[in-house]
Amino acid sequence: MEILVKDSIARVADRSRREFLQTAMLAAGASIVSMPVLARQSDRKLGVALVGLGSLSTNQIAPALQKTEHCRLAAIVTGTPAKAKAWSEKYSIAEKNIYNYGSFDRVADNPEIDVVYVVLPNSMHAEYTIRAARANKHVLCEKPMANSAKDCEAMIAACQKANRKLAIGYRLHFEPHNLEAKRLGQEKVLGKLRAIEAGFGFVIGDPTQWRLKKALAGGGALMDVGIYALQGARYVSGEEPIEVVAVETKTDPVKFKEVDETIYFTLRFPSGLLANCGTSYNAGFNRLWAGAEKGWFELSPAYSYGGIKGRMSGDKTISLPQVDQFASEMDDFALCIKNNKSSGVSGEEGLRDLRIIEAIYQSIASGKAVRLKAGG
Ligand code: NAD
């Protein structure tokens, strides 16, 4: 049996919010004459400043911005003049909307910028999020949120102080197959969950890249892609882990001198459910599986930019529309800003993951299970 979903959940939510707003305005006695002005304001595309024009910005985020309904690429922040020139020509970005890392704080004076999207090496996320909040901009920050839970807390505090919204680039929260896995697990469609297996790894290339330097990356495979397995276990179960035990191995101790190569970690949830999760920079795998009382379901690949596929017991496939996850993520954040709602992928969500990641590293270092406070 094929499960087909015509509209993405985000679009339905968007339409419902618009209808609700219109009904509320009419109920409040707003005149029909004043409505188009308000509608025009809410239809305005929010200006996004991209900070860091590396691989993700170039190949995924900038193309996705061209597909969004509620955002537009308004500005760029780069330390490389050649990139500034190429991007300004390709995306018609005015000279006044091009910044470097030194001039970045001047985004405060630019009303065309509503959102700063931080797409820098992990260690720089906290600094640029905090500077963006001080410049009175909303912030979308790539995963992992920061190199430590302490930095995450500082980022949340800076955005709260500036009354700006903060979201983390957890694109799979906008991907239909992952949303279906979340629904199957959380609504106990196949009964109570009994076990989860989640893993994401790939063979990393260039040994000189920042991802292999602890100061810039914070950690290795776990920080970069293991976080997807952790997220998967959390959103499929709908529970927060209370204990974690983890082991690490380095089959190439030279290449992975500073960061983790391969880690397996087991999460214990309050219901008694266990999730066995893996991650690697030296082996390719990409899977989210859950076994329940009356059957099982699986996404494989589960975490890619496209081509996500699912199966479930009873010889069923989970086949849903493939969407541009980055476009959906950015439109969702724009709607959160326009409708003054907090994001489902908020800074608090990023902080929860960093607390668990720190406990995983602590378990590896101590060789013991580490207890977590329920709810992160
Ligand atoms: P990248 O190496 O391709 O790009 C990094 C950018 O940061 C480059 O433009 C580089 O010039 C700039 N930079 C500024 N200061 C730097 C410094 N001191 N050292 C190195 N680079 C510096 O990396 P990327 O793949 O674009 O990743 C950027 C961020 O996006 C990371 O946090 C990563 O985890 C995240 N990411 C998320 C996804 C996702 O699916 N959501 C995918 C890939 C990367």
Q: What is the pTM of this model?
A: 0.91
Ligand 1 close to Cβ of residue 285 (< 6 A): no
pLDDT range class, residue 42, cuts 50, 70, 90: low
Sequence-distant (6+) residues with CB within 8 A of 299 are 177, 178, 181, 287, 288, 289, 308, 309, 310, 318
Contact 196, 268 (CB under 8 A): no
Report the distance separating Cα 167 and Cα 350, nearest Å.
8
How many angstroms is it from 219 CA to the middle of ligand 1? Answer: 14
Ligand 1 close to Cβ of residue 52 (< 6 A): yes
Strand partners, 299: 288, 310
> How many residues can be counted in the chain?
376
- Testing ligand 1's pocket by substitution, the residue of 55, 76, 101, 120 carrying the most ligand atoms inside 8 A of its CB is 120
Q: For residue 170, which atom of ligand 1 is closest to its CA?
A: 41
pLDDT range class, residue 41, cuts 50, 70, 90: low
> What is the residue with the minimal CA distance to atom 31 of ligand 1?
121
Ligand 1 close to Cβ of residue 332 (< 6 A): no
Report the distance separating Cα 145 and Cα 168, nearest Å.
6
In the chain, what percentage of residues exceed pLDDT 70? Answer: 88
CA distances from 286 to 172, 198, 199, 266, 273 (A): 13, 8, 6, 17, 21
84-106 tens-digit pLDDT: 999 999 999 999 999 999 999 99
Residue 204 tokens read as 């990393």
Ligand 1 close to Cβ of residue 49 (< 6 A): no
192-231 tens-digit pLDDT: 999 999 999 999 999 999 999 999 999 999 999 999 999 9
| Average pLDDT of the chain to the nearest whole number | 91
> What is the residue with the minimal CA distance to atom 12 of ligand 1?
52
Question: What residues are annotated to the active site?
Answer: 143, 228
